[in-house]
Amino acid sequence: MAGPLRRVQSWAEELPATMGEAIRSQLDLVSTLMDQGHRDGALEDAPLAGHPLALAALQEELVHRWESLLGLRKAQLTTTEAPTASVWMTGGPLLAALAGLVEPMFMQLAPGTVVTARWDQERGYRILRLGLPAGLHGPVPDPWTQGVLQDSGVRWAWADQSLDLFLPESPDAMPEEPTRPLLGLVSEELNLLGLFQTVAEAGNLWLHPLEHEPPPPPLPKFRFLVIDAQGTHDLEGCIRAYRHHPSFATTPILVVRCTEDDTPRLIQAGATDWLAEGFRWEALHHRLQVLRGHTELQQRALAAERLESFRQMAGTLKHEINNPLAIISMQVEMLQRKYPEEVKLAKIGEMVDRIRALVQVLQKMRETPTEDYADGSSILKLG
């Protein structure tokens, strides 16, 4: 593939300036992705190093890429002077991932549009704020772009027609989970993305595209998962795969654009609810809110049931454990009087007291706080 790609790049040299520059920029992006794919397939891949990059140099690189693309749309980019500072850039295709996030939005711009770019600062991050025209939906990055940005510690936010890119100032700024709950979407129909972006914004959610096969754990928590019946090859298999995934075991799964005749087998496969084709975004937003309320009721009922089980268990433990503990405690006291210099006896006494205190904590519990792990399991926190 490298040979044909080089030939296309050479032909692009003969095109007019604006069009040729835009096409060459996209060809460079394809080359970067091909190189990354080759490295990902290697048996041994050294970890990518990072380096500081001056904001002025980064801005110059991004402006060079974006101006040619905006030129094709007859749009303009206005920038302010970059501060005298630097950000931490990882190796690999980070610039390609930034292009995958931003450039699809640029392709939707109308002629004469002006895009603004300015820098801001937050603790540990430099923020590049891109002001975009009204009526433009927020970005919907593909899983590869999302993964590269997350691995590089780059966050992004869309609000009030501004796309904010949070670039870490140092390697200490580690990737963080999204500040808003996630709305997962499995679909091959790109026309649905705008609709679901509207629903996500109305529900204060992040829209996160997913593949037909769920990604391996660990994953951030998803509040909802929507599966498009007409944009999925094996619908029932897809539902089952996500329902058996530890990160989606209790997540409400809504199937859209399906027929009423299909719903029994979809519910049997693990779907929670469904919407037929032709729904409006208001109906989808309302259905998700209903599912959210239903899920919260289920969680409260489960928590109450679990709390009662813990209390019953605590009563059994108190009865069965306190008697042996009392005998052990008396024996330890006798040994301490006989061997006062033996420090291990004091440690045994401390452990006995700790076991007795834990039993008392279980009996007095009014809620069941848990700590979740990446594999989907959780443990009860007693203190």
Tell me the mean pLDDT in the region 250-257.
Answer: 89
Structural domains in the chain?
15-24+51-176 (3.30.565.10), 177-279 (3.40.50.2300), 301-380 (no CATH)
Cβ neighbours of residue 381 closer than 8 Å, sequence gap 6 or more: 369, 370, 371
CA 307/CA 368 separation, integer angstroms = 6
Give phi and psi for 123, each to the nearest 5: -55, 115
- The percentage of residues in the chain with a pLDDT greater than 90, rounded to a whole number, is 14
Give phi and psi for 348, each to the nearest 5: -65, -40
Q: Give the Cα-Cα-Cα angle 143, 144, 145 (nearest 5 degrees).
A: 95
Looking at residue 19, what is its pLDDT? 46
pLDDT of residue 1 exceeding 60 = no
Summarised one tens digit per residue, pLDDT across range 262-291 is 889 999 999 988 888 777 767 777 777 777
CA 159/CA 132 separation, integer angstroms = 10
Query: Which residue in 136, 180, 185, 142 sits closest to 284, CA to CA?
Result: 185
pTM passes above 0.85: no
Residue 121's H or E segment, with its range, is strand 114-122
- Compute how many other C-beta atoms are within 10 angstroms of the C-beta atom of residue 89: 20
Summarised one tens digit per residue, pLDDT across range 162-194 is 999 999 988 776 555 455 788 888 887 767 777
CA 169/CA 172 separation, integer angstroms = 8
pLDDT of residue 68 exceeding 80 = no
User: Any idea which of 10-19, 57-66, 280-289 has the lowest mean pLDDT?
Assistant: 10-19
Most confident region among 16-25, 62-71, 77-86 by mean pLDDT: 77-86
CA 378/CA 302 separation, integer angstroms = 14
